[in-house]
Amino acid sequence: MRMRKLKHLTDRQQRCQAVWIQDPEAHWGHWPDLYPEATELWLEIGCGKGKFTALTAEANPQALLLGMERVPEAHVMAMEKAMEMGLQNVRYLIYDAQKMDKCFAPGELDGIFLNFSDPWPATRHARRRLTHRDFLARYAKALKPGGKLWFKTDNTGLFEFSVKEFERSGWKLSEVTRDLHADGVVGIMTGYEEKFHAQGIPICRLVAQYVGAEP
């Protein structure tokens, strides 16, 4: 995500201490301790400005929702949104999904959200896509048996690539659609999603569960 530099970024970050996890790796295996009331632990990778993260946390008080983002400017805006809403069951971390095995213990997550990830359209950049098999292996390790991954994108090329990667990597797919909102809005939208939908751009979506590669 490319964003303009924000003034007073450090000061704004410091005002969000209540929801900012500054040392994610220190919580390896102990994330539920942050919100003992939670019965589920969900992660959104690439949460951007945090609209989906915050609204999903608000609608699911039984879950602790973690928003992972690499861009500090987007990260601080996501934190400010959660603070304004007074949410108790959401936390944010600046982190790279490539290192998530250092951040989450095996089987620690109940669910993962991938919303409108960078499609990296060039073939030479395929391994950077968050649905490449290398990333899928990390997600499979971090998810509990039966845990779910929800994936949405407006990019049909990325979606078709992703379907093949999931299937080849031992994931069972359900709710596969290439026009999620054809009959009306379904679920909570991200900021990007609202813009795409308003422009008539179809949204692709699937739900995946890791069942293991065939022998």
3-state secondary structure of 118: coil
Dihedral pair phi/psi, residue 109, rounded to 5°: -95, 145
Q: Which amino acid is at 25?
A: E
From the list 118, 154, 179, 183, the catalytic residue is 118
Dihedral pair phi/psi, residue 69, rounded to 5°: -145, 145
Instruction: Of 113, 99, 94, give the one whose Cα is nearest residue 153.
Output: 113
Spatial neighbors of 138 by CB under 8 A, at least 6 apart, are 97, 98, 100, 101
User: Is 110 labeled as catalytic in the residue annotation?
Assistant: no
Per 3-state DSSP, the chain is made up of helix, strand and coil in percentages (nearest 5) of: 35, 25, 40
Q: Tokens 């220190």 appear where?
A: 26
What's the half-sphere exposure (Cβ side, CA atoms, 13 Å) at 39?
3
Q: How many C-beta atoms lie closer than 10 Å to residue 14's C-beta?
A: 11
3-state secondary structure of 98: helix
Q: What is the DSSP code (8-state) at residue 5?
A: P
CA pair distance 203, 153, nearest whole angstrom: 6
Residue positions annotated with a catalytic role: 118
